[in-house]
Structure 1
């Protein structure tokens, strides 16, 4: 048994109160200021005590695998390093955004299979509750059977429908962008151009495979997201298929349509920190101000997810509790993880303790996953009688 004593706790009703959290058996056994003998206690007075972060979409691990074009490192090393980075940023539940594209190389079938196998092997040694968000490129129709099998065998926890073909086709006339995509795939530029043409010819196959995979995911209670929705009409088609999450909508109209239909909207935390989209799309802070953002994810930069709620609150975009729900309560609900995301009795003791004395540079003091302290910035002097 363990108690966190005297922290400023984000309570289930959205208020922050100074109280104690008691942990037993990996769960929160109580929230009050009464203590009993036999408990270990940590003095966390002055610190914020929050439900730990749940990241539904993070693909920054790709940089641990291939930090430079053509430079690869072993997957076990890359995944362990990613795990360490996440817990130091308060992330307790992590969905690895593994892309299964028609491109070979970093986002091709071989890498996807290697990553799934590596996660199966190393998961018991990782600290985060590690899950898979498979990002299936819809023009990868030959891979649909693989995706169906992975769903049926329990290897996928969230399925996203991606279509980046138009973006890549538009880049073919830009030598720099073409070289980037060709390098990532391991192909020459001429071979990559030929591949894009061959893939575009599959257009008439896409809708049927998308509908089939959405139906299989629904059968196995796997939540699904549509990625980079360009219009309410596009989002509406996915909504009809039971795809309940709108991920990175291109514009406010699409986000508004999703919210109106009861589907949560995911935006990127880096978008919040940078003050806008890196590709000139919907601004996450603007969306949050207008009630069009339900969930924030790390996207391509893990540290952003911890800090974005503080920025939203400091800038007056929303109150702090609402902002923090975007990285805890709301993603838990969207992913069907009803055992976490809030600090309340009976919930998993996934907790982050934060020093917010400098609002512009908040620091994680400790991260707990299922009641275990897995990261401590300054552990020694925090123990108390």
Structure 2
């Protein structure tokens, strides 16, 4: 599709929602305004909100498509296609698959991380969302350092996170239910799992130097970095000293305040907003947003959450919808240096959502345009004069 006109909708432009027209050509928005000339196709957005596509920095819901039950594996290409459909149908047009490479075998192993990276690279052209690789490195996974450096240098990693779940892993050994879940994920017996944890913990003294080397490699490759679950201002400052400018899920308010004071991006989970609190009992995201201590929301483990969270924040009076939407569009784009998306303006990538917000707290995606291509549609009659667009949807 070379040309498209979106007319009659209430369009989010900066901090305002105004009725106007968007003209698209190829992959971009070419103009915003009262252009009533016809393109090769047109969309009647009357009664709908027209919003920038969602940019999701951290989503690992795709893991459930790969392993819907412990020990039950499905092909990665099948999982990626299904995850792509889920992401797009929930308005996510740029998705960073948060892939954990741990010292564990199984779902979060080196083999799985490598296969997933290769699959993403091979399948990108056929996926509707702009699909990117977010590598979550468990800092105790010291044996992976050399290969990760190679991936960074080769430009294969789009976002790099430092994770340290060792304390919670050790604590889980005393909790039968949590221990059982981890064992199921790894496929190890109880004795083998305990021995593995013991060997990994014994190398704790090597972790800080490894973090420093990997952070330098990421900086050299111009890859943005996150630190996950920072639990103190000191921890946030330490990661910032390595050039890690995104605090992902800080576990308490004082750490979030430290991040905010330095101008770091602060990520919380959109499911936290939708559910009214964290499933772990940690920081309540809506409180952090109200205090100006959250700049980005991510889907985390549930693709519908960003869309629902923005409207929940507006309904609860935490933020106007225009500001709430920035948490899932322009702010995450800025955090990772994607200057071509997140807002509706001329020369921006044409990632656009048409949303019916008639029902309070239940926004419904009517259509999704990704890089100028209509990839999702729930109401064909919205395309009042668009035979070309209907044909594109049928082929998608």
- TM-score of the alignment, normalized to the shorter chain, above 0.5: yes
Q: What is the alpha-carbon distance in structure 2 between the residues aligned to residue 147 and residue 263 of structure 1?
A: 24
Which stretch of structure 1 is more off in the superposition, 237-246 or 373-382? 373-382
- Does structure 1 conserve the Cα–Cα contact (< 8 Å) formed by 2:315 and 2:361? no
| CA spacing shift, 1:38–1:364, aligned 2, 3 Å | closer
Partner of 2:4: 2
Query: 2:393 aligns to what?
Result: none
State the partner residue of 1:275.
276
CA-based RMSD of the aligned residues comes to: 1.0
C-alpha distance in structure 1 between counterparts of 2:34 and 2:385, whole Å: 15
Map residues 118-129 of structure 1 onto 2, 5 A cutoff: 118-129=119-130
Counterparts of 1:219-238 in structure 2 under 5 Å?
219-238=220-239
- Provide, for residues 163-217 of structure 1, a one-character-per-residue CA deviation record: whole Å limited to 9, x for no partner: 0000010010111111110110110011111111111011111111111111111
Q: Return the offset for 1:39.
A: 4.3
Measured in 2, the distance between the counterparts of 1:40 and 1:375 equals 15
Gaps (5+ residues) in structure 2?
Answer: 387-396
Which residues of 2 match residues 230-379 of structure 1 at below 5 A? 230-379=231-380
CA separation in 2, counterparts of 1:37 and 1:345? 18
Q: How many residues in Structure 1 have an aligned counterpart in Structure 2? A: 384
Distance of 1:208 and 1:26 partners within structure 2: 43
Show the 5 A alignment for 1:61-140: 61-140=62-141
- After superposition, residues 152-191 of structure 1 pair within 5 angstroms as 152-191=153-192
Question: Shift of the alpha carbon at 1:286?
Answer: 0.4
Q: How far did 1:37 drift? A: 4.0
Distance in 2 (CA, whole Å) between partners of 1:145 and 1:160 is: 16
Moved beyond 3 Å, runs of 4+ = none
Q: Residue 384 of structure 1: CA displacement? A: 3.0
For residues 21-100 of structure 1, the aligned pairs below 5 Å read 21-100=22-101
CA apart distance, 1:381 = 4.3
2:66, 2:74 within 8 Å by CA — same for their partners in 1? yes
8 Å CA contact 2:277–2:284 kept in 1: the answer is yes
Once the 2 structures are TM-superposed, how far is the Cα of residue 144 of structure 1 from its aligned partner? 0.8
- Match of 1:383, SS state, is coil
CA distance in structure 2 between the aligned counterparts of 1:74 and 1:213, rounded to whole angstroms? 30
**SS class of match (1:384):** coil
- Structure 1 unpaired stretches of 5+: none
Secondary structure at the aligned position of 2:35 is classed as coil
